[in-house]
Amino acid sequence: MNSNLSQFHAPRPQSKCLEFHPSTALASHPDCAALYQKISDIKIEFVACEMFSIPAAQEKILAPEPLAEDTAHERFLNESVKKPPSGIPPYLASLYETPLLTPEQEFHLFRKMNFYNYRAAELRAAVDADTATYRQLETIEGLLQQAHAIRNQIVQANLRLVVSIARRFVDTANSFEDLVSEGNVPLIRAVEIFDYTRGYRFSTYATWAIRNSFVRFTPRSRRRSAQYLTGTQDLFEEFSDAGISPTEYEREHRQMTTLVSSMLASLDNRERTIVMSRFGLDGSGTKMKFREISSQLEISTERVRQIVARALAKLRTTLAESGTDCFDLRS
């Protein structure tokens, strides 16, 4: 990860332009505690820039996106990229309607996105659960929402990059649609951590990130495909070896599914979502890593660990009350 990338845990900011003006009338807002917890759980990352700490530079940073120069080269470039490759689905072909960003636009958007995250991180460091007001928390949430919107804008302008790279990795075990879906994840992450201050184009970094993801993903898909082709035969051999009929297996499977569903019902929505993702109970059959869940939910990896530990403690209690001892609940 870039050295300039910060997961912000810093002392109270000194910059006067980022100070709060508390409103005691809002401190008792009924949703204040919930909003404080929501904001506390968010992992805020940004690539630092010297301009961020200069109040006079904020107007330039937050200025509207620069227009693309109306030159013959730019017109040719934008017309050429609007033509999607042959054979791709219509919903992906529509991606080519979004014009590419010029180097100036790209730099401006990355700087602006990171500045919003920088301000949100500083303001969050300046409040605590006892003194935070709803207006302060709304300000932080608004900054994060603006950063998120710019992130999505950059992602949208670069989605065709995923399509282009995915076409080179298609094989019998890796469909084009699956690869595009998989490639969106490293693209989004690349936008979040790209160091725009180095002067390189984002597409150079994103291409490496997407290709690297496909290199890891495609062999796993081939192995899963091979396992699926032989899975039915293996299952019936297992029945034979254990003296279990398919009917008995199906009945026990339904009973186990019912028990798992009742146990998960004892968790709140966030705990249930994280536990299902962590243990592959969401229908995908794939166990997600802590960092994958944290990226998906935009909270810290440590926070995911804490929620899993808390949820497993609840499940152990539920399991003990049910009198069942067939599970080994470890994270």
Nearest-CA neighbor of 124 among 37, 30, 23, 5? 37
Q: Which domains does the chain have, with CATH numbers?
A: 5-214 (1.20.120.1810), 268-331 (1.10.10.10)
DSSP string, 79-117: HHHTSPPTT--HHHHGGGGSPPPPHHHHHHHHHHHHHHH
Element of type H or E holding 65: none
What confidence score (pLDDT) does residue 131 get? 86
Distance of CA 229 to the CA centre of its chain: 32
**Contact partners, residue 156, CB within 8 Å, separation at least 6:** 95, 98
What is the per-residue burial (b if ≥16 Cβ within 10 Å, else e) of 35-50?
bbeebbbbbbbbbbbe
Among 257, 209, 96, which Cα is nearest to 200's? 209
CB atoms within 10 A of CB 126: 18
* pTM above threshold 0.75: no
More confident position, 36 or 313: 36
- For 82-127, the pLDDT digits (tens) are 677 777 777 788 888 888 899 999 999 999 999 999 999 999 999 9
Residue 27's contacts (CB-CB under 8 Å, 6 or more residues apart) are 131, 132, 133, 134
Q: In whole angstroms, what is the distance from residue 210 CA to residue 191 CA?
A: 12
Residue whose token pair is 């094989």: 171
Computed over its alpha carbons, how large is the radius of gyration of the chain?
Answer: 25
Out of 119-133, 162-176, 224-238, 299-313, pick the least confident: 224-238
User: What does the block give as tokens for 156?
Assistant: 């949208």
Rounded distance, CA 327 to CA 158, Å? Answer: 45
